[in-house]
Structures are given as C-alpha cells and as structure tokens.
C-alpha cells in the first residue's frame, strides 16, 4: 500500500525483508539522480536495507557516508559501537570513498561536535536514512531536543537505555552519553528515508505523522521537511488513522 500525504510518502510493506527491498529502491533512485553523500543509521531497523545494498551491484567507492550518531566512550572496535556496526553491516562489503562516524573516544565534546558539524556543512547530505525510537527519537535526539540543534552530546533517557540494553550483557553496560547529529542537522538533508517496524513503534509512528509538531516527539519535525519517505510494516502503521 502507498499513500502520499503532502510532502510525506508512506509505504506499507509486508515485513522487514520487504522493507529492505523498498529501502534499497529509495537508495538506488537517489544514486541514479546523482546523490553523492549518504547519511546512515544504525539499529536493527536498517539491517535489511544494508543487506540489499551489499548484495547489489551499486558502487559506493566514489561516495561519502556520514553516520548519525555514536556512543561516547566506546572504541570503534567495541562490538556495540556504531563504528563496528557499520563496518560489519555495510562498509566491509561496500567501501565508500570516505565514511564518517562521530568519534566516541574524543571526550572533548565541544571539539568533536564542532568538527562533525563542519563535516556535514562541507558534505551536504543527499539522502538521510533514519530509524525511529519508541519515544519518537531520531538519531539520539530525545524528546525535548531543540529542533534547531546541530551535533551535540546527549544524555540518553532511561527508556532508550532500556531499549538498547538488549545489545549489551546488561543495562549497566549501556553508555549513558552519545554524540548525535541534531534535529536541525537531520532536516538539512535533501531527502529523508525513515523506517519503522513492529507494534512497539506504532505510537511513535502515529505521533510522528499525525500528531502536532512538538519537541515531545522529535520525529514530528519531519512533517516540516519537503521530501520524506516512510517505510512501515502493518504493526508499526497500526495506530495511523
């Protein structure tokens, strides 16, 4: 099923495998139109898109990738770092000319966030891939984040720590801070692809697309972006009118 709401194109797919193919097609179209800089995301949601990208004959060797976020304090070799995730799911198979992920080991937050913003400004993002937090966060922009925010250091909320604890031996090991592109940085991308699966995301999806634009739901600011594609499964779409 497909529905167009103003600037937002919603595609409902059977499952995460079909979502991988649908997401791949969005990437393919963007590359065909000349996209040079891809904004990338981590989490369980994008994995099937990365599977399709790695299995394809698309060539990223002249392109630049810029990731959304990284935990503060995890080395790139830590299996739960977002550096490691990207190597494993995409970069090892499909190297880019340049790939950037915030440096979680740079404990000078002011320096790291300024460097990252300069990088984004020098390499405007053509297509930004996003997952969606259960509380409506994008990247690590938790509820309450300034919509004009650029890259910043974030204190993760209890609900995000709990949601991500499944990847660690226990919740105590989940880092408490992350570096994340801001909502303002994300909205500068020319095109945005946001993907969500499962019932646990249904409230956030409804608030993102049909609720008021509010700092309580960071993803609701996507309503103000001119070119957004949303890929959902039935469960994630189940609370839409």
User: Across the chain, which distance is largest between two alpha carbons, in Å?
Assistant: 47
Q: Which of 41, 154, 206, 236 binds ligand GLP (CB under 6 A)?
A: 41
Taken in order 150, 160, 200, 131, the sign of the CA dihedral is: positive
Of these residues, 137, 141, 164, 225, which one is catalytic?
137
DSSP secondary structure letter of residue 231: E
Shortest distance (Å) from residue 131 CB to ligand GLP: 2
- Is 89 assigned a catalytic role? no
Position 230 contacts ligand GLP (CB under 6 A): no
Contact pattern for ligand GLP over residues 44 through 63, marking x by CB under 6 A: xx------------------
Q: Which of 52, 69, 142, 233 binds ligand GLP (CB under 6 A)?
A: 69
Q: Can you name the residues that pair with 70 across neighbouring β-strands?
A: 179
Stretch of 13-21, 91-99, 128-136, 185-193 contacting ligand GLP, by CB under 6 A: 128-136
Q: Kind and range of the H or E element at 228? A: strand 228-233
Position 233 contacts ligand GLP (CB under 6 A): no
CA distance 87 to 212: 37
Closest CA to 134 of 49, 206, 234: 206
Positions that interact with ligand GLP (CB under 6 A): 41-45, 68-69, 131-133, 139-140, 160, 164
């Amino acid at each position: 099923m497909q529905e167009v709401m103003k600037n937002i194109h919603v595609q409902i797919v059977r499952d995460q495998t079909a979502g991988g193919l649908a997401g791949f097609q969005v990437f393919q179209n963007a590359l065909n139109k000349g996209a040079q800089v891809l904004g990338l995301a981590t989490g369980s949601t994008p994995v099937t898109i990365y599977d399709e990208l790695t299995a394809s004959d698309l060539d990223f060797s002249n392109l630049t990738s810029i990731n959304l976020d990284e935990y503060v304090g995890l080395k790139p070799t830590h299996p739960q770092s977002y550096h490691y995730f990207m190597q494993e799911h995409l970069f090892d198979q499909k190297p880019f000319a340049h790939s950037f992920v915030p440096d979680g080991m740079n404990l000078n937050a002011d320096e790291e966030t300024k460097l990252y913003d300069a990088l984004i400004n020098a390499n405007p993002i053509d297509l930004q891939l996003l997952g969606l937090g259960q509380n409506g966060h994008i990247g690590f922009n938790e509820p309450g984040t300034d919509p004009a925010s650029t890259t910043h250091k974030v204190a993760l909320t209890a609900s995000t720590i709990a949601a991500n604890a499944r990847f660690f031996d226990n919740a105590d090991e989940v880092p408490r801070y992350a570096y994340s592109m801001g909502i303002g940085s994300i909205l500068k991308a020319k095109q945005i692809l946001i993907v969500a699966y499962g019932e646990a995301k249904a409230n956030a999806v409804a608030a993102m697309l049909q609720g008021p634009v509010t700092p309580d739901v960071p993803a609701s600011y996507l309503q103000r972006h001119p070119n957004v594609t949303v890929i959902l499964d039935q469960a994630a779409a189940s609370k839409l009118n």
